[in-house]
Every structure is written in structure tokens, then in C-alpha cells.
Amino acid sequence: MSSAISPVEALATLLAEQKSAFVAQGAVDAAERRRRIQQVIDLLVAWHKPLVAAMDEDFGNRPQGFSLMNDVLGSLASLKHARDHLEEWMQPQERQPFAPYDQLGAKARVMYQPKGSVAIIGTWNAPLFTLLSPLAYVLAAGNRAILKPSEIAPRTAAVLAAACAELLDPLVVGVVSGGPEVAAAVSAQPFDHLVFTGSTAVGKLVMRSAADNLVPLTLELGGKSPTIVARSADLATAAFRIAAAKANNGGQLCVNPDLVYVPREQLEAFLAELKGAYASLFPQVQGNPDVVAVVNERHLVRVEGLVDDAIAAGVRIESLPEMLPADAADRRRPLRVVVDPPASCRIQQEEIFGPAMVLLPYDEIDAVLADINARPRPLALYYFGNDPAEQQHVLEHTLSGGVTINDAMMHAAMQDAPFGGIGASGMGHYHGREGFLEFSHARTVFEAGAYDPRREWGLLPPYGEHFLAAMEAQVTP
């Protein structure tokens, strides 16, 4: 009796079949690329209700309207943008041949070709978006893909796998499911590109594993996105928009503000505005159907452990709204604001990824920039203020994956601009033409003219007596 094939064996088999199909097909024209993207769009339209219901169950409460907005509509925006622009992105770019061949009939161009099969490892906090948004640009570039949904959102993974099996050709878009061992197997396979969304620690493991096959990577890793409230900012506006960002997905987003720097003399006024703003969104948290729960007990323990560590250090904690006695069956929690913790506190060092944030008072903006630059490069940076010179100073003296000014997280929704990290927050990007280029091989093509003057010009062996002098004469400043 033969044993059932393991998920890892199924993955290797599917990848081999995709690669064979890729080679057999050859060029993928614009019409076929659009057709593939449209199939994914149609899948989302047909399956959106069971998908959002699954996300609600996986989180233990995630408003279905929010899942539609964040994951379904967010993915559709990427897919439609890629569908509607891929033909212009595909066009070869004419390049100038070097002298003297530019005068001798030579031509040059860069063509953009698909790489082959791309792995996309998604994460639980946006279990559709982190798969299907990069998929839009993978397909626009003419590739095939294998999706690995997060096992932390198992119901969503199962519904997505069923939808793909019903509506998509697995040799174009396949799905493999399973736990960390399957994700590890994905990173160990000889894909032509790999996209991973998750923590920096796991991203390092993925990168090490992918290096064995020299697989190019797009890593979206998050970080402690700093938020600067300048003295020129409108405090009420800044507080409301930061509160709205922290309310988004229960704080469980890679571009969520972690560290908020506030002028020391405005700390109490800002905190009062923040309390009022958060209360206007969530008058109560526990039992509130509008609040996204922390995804599971393990993550809740981790987030509460960060706050408890600060409490043990004697740090001031504000709860927005007031903390009620915890219900073990309800993982919805108020926003915990940790005020001016020492650098040794864990919440100052680890990405929060939940309903908590840090307020750090400052005296001079350059001290804020020094603190930001002493930390790993973040995925996002936010600046609230109306001083153009200071705004430009902040932009020129920091590095982050992206920036939103006078709001938070908005840059990540841009489809016509790249989204990605730098340093510890990742590498590579998707969205827009840059996303198309990320998953394409830029191939230089040089076409020589009929006439080749090298021999009569003495540029080929045997070299004449004037060859060295002629080369020396070209060495100019």
C-alpha cells in the first residue's frame, strides 16, 4: 500500500510542474497576463463572503466590513491596477548603444521577461492581502506562483485553497498549506523568486535558506515604525489620526505606529487628545463588535508581556479606555499607552504588533532623529507637522521603507508607488511599475550593425605599435 504524499513532496512536485509548464509555454503575452489576473479578481468577487467569514473566525472577532476593506478591496486594488497597466510596463525600453557603435547601425534595448515560478509566503495579520497583493505584480510580470497561507489563520487558508482549486489552474497559481515545516520547505525550494511577509527573525531564516539556491527575495518585515509629532502639528488632528491607526486591525499591522515622539511640554495635552480620539472610536473595547481581537492566546500573552515588563519597571501606563476585568474568552483589549519607558524595556526593543504603543517625550528634533537612526531601519516613518523646513530635515536625515506625512499608514495603500522595507524592515518591494520590475528579469539586448571596424582600427590582436598609446589617450578625467 502506498503512503499518502506529504505536503513537502506535493510542493516539490507542483514547483517542478510549474517550471516545466513555464518553459513549454515560452513568452506570456499581455492578454494572457490580464486573463490570469482577472481570474483572481473573479475569485475574490465570488468567494468574498466565505473568506471574510473565515477571517472573522480566525481572529475571534474581526468585523467583516473591515476584512472586506483591508484584505478583499486592498487585494482587488492591486490586481486591478496591475491588470490595467501591465501592457505599458511590458514594453521594451530602447537604450543608447555606446560609441562608436551608435554610429554604425547598432541598436540596444532592455526587455522585461518573467522569471518563472514565484513563492509567496503570507502572514496572518492580513491573510489575503499579503498573498494576493504581491500576486498581482507577480502575474503582471508573466510569472506563475505558489501561495503559502499562514497556518495562524487556518480557516482563511482552507477557504482560499478551496477557491483556488475551483477557479485557478494550479500550474499558474497553486496553494500549499501547512505549518512552519511547509513554510521552511518553501524557502528551501529552487524558486525563481520568493516573497515573504513576517517578522525580521523569521525573515533572516528565510534568507539563509533561500541562499542555498540563490533565490532572489522580497522581504516585508515590519519594525518599530516611529511617529514624530512636531511642535508645529495640530495636536487634535495628530492624536485622532494616530488613534485611528492604532485602532486599525487591533494594532496588528506591520506599518502600525509603535513609537510616538511628542514635545515634552505637550505630552499631557497630546495624551488627553489621544484619549478622547480613541474613545470616539471605541467607547468600550471588550465585547465591542467593531474591535479586532488579538489573533490568538499566544500573541495576546506576548503583547501583555511587553506591557507587564514596563509595569514592573515602574513605568506609567494609560489604558484607553479603562481596562475592565479580563474575559478569558475575549481577546479584545484596550490600547495600552506606555509613557516614557527606559530603553531597557522590551516594549522599546520589540515590535509590538498589538494594542499598545510607546509615548516618548523629546526636547529637540535632532535628538529624536538620533534615536530613530540608532534603531534598525523601520518599514514606515510618520511625521505630523506644518513646518516645511523641519519636514524636509526629517526626510533627509532618516531612512525608512516609506513615509506618510500628517497621517499614518497611507503610503502602504499607494498602488502607483513601491511598497517595501529597507535593512531590518526588509528588501525589495511590490506595487506599481516597481513591483512589476521586482518580479521581472531586465534583459539587455544588443544588436550589432553589419560593419565591424575593430580590426582596421587596430583594436584586435595582433596589436600594433600604436595600440597602447591609443588606449592611454582615452584615459581622461
Q: Are residues 167 and 254 in the same domain?
A: no
Residue 342 located in a structural domain:
yes
How far apart CA 38 and CA 50 sit, in angstroms, is 20
Residue 239 lies in a domain: yes
Tracing cell 474568552 back to the chain, one arrives at: 329
Instruction: Say whether 120 sits in a helix, a strand or coil.
Output: strand
Residues 212 and 234 in one domain: no
Q: Which of 57, 166, 181, 254 is catalytic?
A: 254
Note whether 131 and 243 are same-domain residues. Answer: no
Residues 120 and 233 occupy one common structural domain: no
The set of cell numbers assigned to 45 is: 468577487
Query: What pLDDT digit, counting tens, does each position of 92-115 carry?
Result: 999 999 999 999 999 999 999 999
Full-model pTM = 0.96
Active site residue 164: no
| Co-location of 281 and 329 in the same domain | yes
pLDDT, one tens digit per residue, over 285-301 is 989 999 999 999 999 99
Residue 33 is assigned to a structural domain of this protein? yes
Nearest to 134 by CA among 11, 219, 26: 219
Same-domain status, 106 and 157: yes
Contacting residues for 92 by C-beta, under 8 A, at least 6 apart: 109, 110, 111, 112, 445
209 and 62 both lie in a single domain: yes
DSSP assigned state of 50 = H
* 114 and 32 assigned to the same domain: yes
Q: Is residue 475 one of the residues assigned to a domain?
A: no
- What 60-67 contacts at long range (C-beta under 8 Å, 24+ apart), as own/partner pairs, is 60/293, 60/295, 60/296, 60/330, 60/331, 61/289, 61/291, 61/292, 61/293, 61/330, 61/331, 61/332, 62/249, 62/292, 62/293, 63/289, 63/290, 63/292, 66/249, 66/292
What is the rounded distance in angstroms from the CA atom of residue 2 to the CA atom of residue 293? 44
- Choosing from 32, 87, 220, 345, the catalytic residue is 220
> CATH no. for residue 73?
3.40.605.10
Q: What is the rounded CA–CA span in Å between residue 135 and residue 75?
A: 9
Q: Any idea what the CATH number is for the domain that residue 273 is in?
A: 3.40.309.10
pLDDT number for residue 3: 61
Same domain, 21 and 76: yes
- The pLDDT tens digits of the residues spanning 309-341 come to 999 999 999 999 987 777 878 999 999 999 999
For residues 272 and 302, membership in a common domain is answered with: yes
Does the residue 446 lie in any domain?
A: no
Same domain, 260 and 184: no
Question: What b/e sequence results for 457-472 when a residue is b if at least 16 CB atoms lie within 10 Å of its CB, and e otherwise?
Answer: eeeeeeeeeeeeeeee
What is the number of domains present in the chain?
2
Going by pLDDT thresholds of 50, 70 and 90, the confidence category of residue 1 is: very low
Peptide bond before residue 418 is cis, with ω within 30 degrees of 0 = no
Write out pLDDT tens, residues 138-170: 999 999 999 999 999 999 999 999 999 999 999
How far apart CA 64 and CA 230 sit, in angstroms, is: 36
Sign of CA dihedral 87, 89, 90, 92: positive
Question: Are residues 377 and 200 in contact, defined by beta-carbon separation less than 8 angstroms?
Answer: no
**Residue 99 domain flag:** yes
Specify whether 254 is catalytic: yes
Same domain as 178, residue 39: yes
The residue range of the domain holding 281 is 226-416
